[in-house]
Structure 1
Amino acid sequence: MTQAATSSPRQSKNAVASVNGQIITSEQIEKPLASQLYRMQQEIYNLKRTQLEQTIAQILLQKEADKKGISLDQFVKEVILPQGVQVSDEEVEKYYTQNQESLKEWKGTQEELKQQIKTSLEEQKYYQKINEYIQTLISRNKVEIYLQDPPLPSVNITAGNSPSSGPSNAPLTIIELSDYQCPSCRQTYGVTKRIMETFKGRIRWVFKDFPLGQNPVSVKAAEASRCAADQSKFWEYHDLLFGTTQELTTDKLKDLAKQLNLDMDKFSACLDSGQYRNNVLQEAQEFAAQGVDRTPSFVINGKLLPGGPSFERFKDLIDRELSRHK
């Protein structure tokens, strides 16, 4: 492809190319990549944050060593770890017992393996004790961090008529894009339930189906949840879907409906007819076009958070958003 002549008109300051005068903007190419670009920016941020924390620790530790007129290495040995670190045989055996599956590929002797485990545990304790000491220094010094998390990308995904919980006029709306078959979604389910309870009355929670790759089992489960919603039992059915460990066959989907005493004639007719299949697939295509490429993902007041965050990370994001609406 040849580069456009420099005399070509630039109709937009965000133009990155033109085809026969038709401008292609940065927004056009970044929108489908929203989730991927954010994750890359997050990786860069994490690298910078780690380096920043190491630099802060170096400054604080060096200051303490200078006060005593000794080297940093000497300060660590004499002040932070005067007794060194010890790992008992019991600790080695406990680690060995709890991690036998991951250690089964070991090619050396058992004695060599346990010595390696001991060395690894000693190293962990060494850095743990140093980090604990650094935290005490941080609490005693004026340390301010200005490095900012990368901003969440904006997406145009709205609640629409999807099932929701919480007041419709809540200052914060969170839209969950999830897949009943997705292992990460199942792991995050406990976090989302805890978040919904913690912020009850202050947020509106919306659930949208996003069966990645149009997995037929995921699609059918999504259809089933909508059939349950027709009988005002969406959230109860949603909880059963995430709670079961059994394969989500059509028969299983119907068994779950029976547990909620749904009208089985209506539920079966709805599920067997596939009346919601096209709706599920169409929404999934729309989410993918917005740059969502993994489940679970969350839209927090129009900002995309890809992946399943920890409770602490999620709570921090929500607290910050709510503080803006006081």
Structure 2
Amino acid sequence: MKPIKLFTLTLVLLASTSSLQAAPDALLTEESVIGTVGGKEIRLSDIEDQKINELRIELHGALQEAFIRHAVTTLSNSSGDYKQEAPSPVSDEQVENFYTQNNLQSRGSLEELSPMIKQYMEGMAKAQSDFNIYKLATSRGDITSRLVKPKEMLLNLAVESGFVRGNQQAKVMLMEFSDYQCPFCRRAQGTVNELMEQYGDRVAFGYRHFPLAFHTEADDAAYAVECARDQDGFEAMHEILFNETDLSRPNLKKIAEKVGLKDLAQFNSCLDKEQYAERVANDMAAAQSVGISGTPGFIVGYYDPDKGIVEGELISGAQPANVFATALEKYLQGR
């Protein structure tokens, strides 16, 4: 028996569960009743978690794209007012500019990536053309949609002992969970620094630890930067550790001397005693509680400095700067 894909299974369940209330958009909403327990109605909002929310948003996006394509094709075949025109060909110069502007050098050579870039740009141009027709037809009442995007579920995370750079009173925060031995975390540091420069005092930038079990020196590196923090050396140590291949305990002590910590004996004792092991473990537990399972992981959202709480969304991996910028702008503008 072939495995049933989750998407297909979801549709089957939606179609076959007679107790579901009809939603305005023909999909489940937060207030939809999904069943009863002891005579009490259970709504989707009672059981929805981050993963379910992400799947609902993904399903909405797929349905929206499919509906636009279908609606525009149907109208263009029946009315001369909505003729679909072939997008202009993508030139080699446009492909090269896209390659350069998106810093794709690490993904492969221009020659290797050109066919995929061209296909992507052509697809985007076609989608934009369809969307323009869709907007026009919608404004005229020739297309109506009952699809409603599900509300994003915001995650709540206490900053606790996280190290915060930038404006401590900013109303938006980007909180990072990283591992000093993780190559993707190392790559993300350039992006974080770029965002810090771009947003200045508008955004607070937090950092907490998530040393992966198979990175044998990551724990000690996390302890070391916390020990350096006692002597105001967090940022200096932090920067060096992401550019250092030897994170053994003896070398961490040499790095402490290099960054100019005044009391090396105190640092060495702190590191040898693993004084901040509990803090690092607490960081890891906090990360896992909001769905972070790998590094780097980020929570971007509203920040309440008085309560020390970030309320926002999860961004996983060393994403391009524009991904973070889009999320930051959303919260800076109050969603």
Task: Report the TM-score range of the alignment, normalised by the length of the smaller protein.
Answer: 0.5 to 0.7
Q: Whole-Å Cα distance in 1 between the matches of residues 312 and 187 of structure 2?
A: 22
- Name 1:297's counterpart in structure 2: 297
Q: Whole-Å Cα distance in 2 between the matches of residues 86 and 238 of structure 1?
A: 43
SS in 2 for 1:189: helix
Shift of 1:67: 7.6
Of 309, 323, 329, the match for 1:313: 323
Shift of 1:138: 6.5
Residues 120-139 of structure 1, C-alpha deviations (whole Å, 9 max, x = no match):
94x87577457557757877
Shift of 1:202: 0.9
SS in 2 for 1:156: strand
Q: Whole-Å Cα distance in 2 between the matches of residues 151 and 37 of structure 1?
A: 12
Residues 293-321 of structure 1, C-alpha deviations (whole Å, 9 max, x = no match):
23222222212313033211211111121
Q: Whole-Å Cα distance in 2 between the matches of residues 168 and 67 of structure 1?
A: 55
Residues 101-125 of structure 1, C-alpha deviations (whole Å, 9 max, x = no match):
x9xxxxxxxxxxxxxx9xx94x875
Shift of 1:282: 2.7
- Name 2:47's counterpart in structure 1: 26
Question: Is the 2:178–2:185 contact (alpha carbons within 8 Å) kept by the matching residues of 1?
Answer: yes
SS in 2 for 1:157: strand
Q: Whole-Å Cα distance in 2 between the matches of residues 213 and 152 of structure 1?
A: 31
- Name 1:106's counterpart in structure 2: none
TM-score (norm 2): 0.62
Please list every run of 5 or more consecutive structure 1 residues that lacks an aligned counterpart in the other structure: 1-5, 17-24, 88-101, 103-116
Match runs of 1:79-228 below 5 Å:
80=88, 121=115, 125=118, 128=121, 132=125, 151-213=151-213, 215-228=215-228
Please list every run of 5 or more consecutive structure 2 residues that lacks an aligned counterpart in the other structure: 1-35, 93-107, 139-144, 303-310
Shift of 1:232: 0.2
Q: Which amino acid in 2 is paired with 1:322?
A: L
2:233 matched to 1:250?
no
Q: Whole-Å Cα distance in 2 between the matches of residues 159 and 68 of structure 1?
A: 52
Q: Which amino acid in 1 is paired with 2:38?
A: S
Q: Which amino acid in 1 is paired with 2:250?
A: D
Of 38, 63, 67, the match for 1:8: 38
Between structures 1 and 2, the one with greater helix share = 1
Question: Is the 2:161–2:279 contact (alpha carbons within 8 Å) kept by the matching residues of 1?
Answer: no
Q: Which moved more, 1:225-234 or 1:134-143?
A: 134-143
Q: Whole-Å Cα distance in 2 between the matches of residues 286 and 80 of structure 1?
A: 49
RMSD: 4.4
Question: Is the 2:155–2:290 contact (alpha carbons within 8 Å) kept by the matching residues of 1?
Answer: yes
SS in 2 for 1:170: coil
Question: Is the 2:82–2:133 contact (alpha carbons within 8 Å) kept by the matching residues of 1?
Answer: no
Q: Whole-Å Cα distance in 2 between the matches of residues 180 and 222 of structure 1?
A: 7
Question: Is the 2:68–2:131 contact (alpha carbons within 8 Å) kept by the matching residues of 1?
Answer: no
SS in 2 for 1:168: coil
Residues 63-121 of structure 1, C-alpha deviations (whole Å, 9 max, x = no match):
8x95899xx7xx75xx956xxx999xxxxxxxxxxxxxx9xxxxxxxxxxxxxx9xx94
Q: Whole-Å Cα distance in 2 between the matches of residues 168 and 214 of structure 1?
A: 34
TM-score (norm 1): 0.64
Q: Which amino acid in 2 is paired with 1:261?
A: G
Shift of 1:52: 5.9
Q: Whole-Å Cα distance in 1 between the matches of residues 271 and 42 of structure 2?
A: 50
Shift of 1:283: 2.7
Question: Is the 2:64–2:147 contact (alpha carbons within 8 Å) kept by the matching residues of 1?
Answer: yes
Q: Which amino acid in 2 is paired with 1:251?
A: P
Question: Is the 2:155–2:314 contact (alpha carbons within 8 Å) kept by the matching residues of 1?
Answer: no
Q: Whole-Å Cα distance in 1 between the matches of residues 330 and 230 of structure 2?
A: 36
Question: Is the 1:294–1:306 contact (alpha carbons within 8 Å) kept by the matching residues of 2?
Answer: no
Q: Whole-Å Cα distance in 2 between the matches of residues 298 and 130 of structure 1?
A: 30
Check 1:222–1:42 CA distance in 2 against 1; reply closer, same or farther (3 A cut). Answer: farther
SS in 1 for 2:282: helix
- Name 2:266's counterpart in structure 1: 266
Residues 161-207 of structure 1, C-alpha deviations (whole Å, 9 max, x = no match):
32111222212122212222223222222111111111111111111
Check 1:314–1:268 CA distance in 2 against 1; reply closer, same or farther (3 A cut). Answer: same
Q: Whole-Å Cα distance in 2 between the matches of residues 317 and 86 of structure 1?
A: 31
Q: Which amino acid in 2 is paired with 1:199?
A: Y
Q: Tell me: higher relative CO, structure 1 or 2? Use CA pairs within 8 A at least 6 residues apart.
A: 1
Residues 253-281 of structure 1, C-alpha deviations (whole Å, 9 max, x = no match):
22322221223222211111111112211
Q: Whole-Å Cα distance in 2 between the matches of residues 183 and 148 of structure 1?
A: 39
Check 1:134–1:15 CA distance in 2 against 1; reply closer, same or farther (3 A cut). Answer: closer
Q: Which has the larger radius of gyration?
A: 1
